[in-house]
Amino acid sequence: MKRPQVVVAGSPEAFVEAAASRIVEEARAAVYVRGRCAIALAGGSTPRPVYEHLTQPEFAGEIAWDKLDVYFSDERCAPPDHGDSNYRMVCESLINNSPLRPEQVHRIEAERPDADQAAAEYGEMLPERLDVLVLGMGEEGHTASLYPGSPALDEQQRRAVAVETPAQPSRRITITPPVIAAAHSVLVLIAGEAKAAMVARALRGPHNPKEIPIQLARNGVWILDRAAAEHVYESSGAESK
């Protein structure tokens, strides 16, 4: 198995800078090699300052905005203008402050009454291989809306499914393991000491994505702040915590 690449940032600013730089680099490489870049973005709070940073002049000028197609790793079943909506967060932090045109943004219509149908249509809309997939991780090891023990972790055909999660709101639509496996480049952004024990387990412990779903991204580039990386380089013990 390929080993993860781990980048540890020494300060919150360095974390944001490292993550934004890496997104720009990967997008540029995709445009160079394949002509366009299909990027799927994570929700949650960690990436918000990173997305905001991408709209700052020093980064914005480096991005071929007209060559991007923006997708989402998951969505909470709420209207797109609701405070829970990942789409809303990405609009506020990135899309509204960028030259992206509406037709370049492919949101998950998770507010529809038939979430299974919305997921099926989203799965059809996703490209065969994302160029860049940005993911986060919850303290218990979930990524996108793939939570430990979820039947969605066994999905091998469909590329997006509706799921019930232990989080709020509980109903969500998420990409599935084959989408993560097929992505050309996976960037995992994790910050905060509350996630440190799980980061160490995920990176150093036995491979069991059914229990630790973020291990599906173990071949990716993990960008961590110092607090999240605290146990990664300990000589022993961290992974059994």
Footprint on this chain of ligand 6PG (rule: CB under 6 A): 42-46, 73-74, 76, 86, 136-138, 142-144
Shortest reach from residue 73's CB to ligand 6PG, in Å: 5
Closer of 11 and 45 to ligand 6PG (Cβ): 45
What's the min distance (Å) between Cβ of 148 and ligand 6PG? 12
Of residues 92, 103, 23, the one with CA closest to residue 70: 103
Q: What is the CA radius of gyration of the chain?
A: 17
Look at residues 103, 101, 121 and name the one whose alpha carbon lies nearest to residue 112.
121
* Residue number with CB closer to ligand 6PG (24 or 108): 108
CB of 46 to ligand 6PG, least distance (A): 3
Q: Which is nearer to ligand 6PG, 85 or 98 (CB)?
A: 85
Least distance from C-beta 60 to ligand 6PG, angstroms? Answer: 23
Distance (Å, whole) CA 116 – CA 120:
6
Comparing CB distances to ligand 6PG, the nearer of 69 and 74 is 74
Q: Which is nearer to ligand 6PG, 88 or 142 (CB)?
A: 142
**Nearest in space to 24 (alpha carbons), one of 181, 132, 184, 170:** 132
E-strand spans in the chain?
A: 5-9, 37-41, 68-72, 74-76, 132-135, 160-164, 171-175, 185-190, 221-225
* Secondary element (H or E) of residue 118: helix 115-125
**Residue 82 CB, nearest distance to ligand 6PG (Å)?**
12
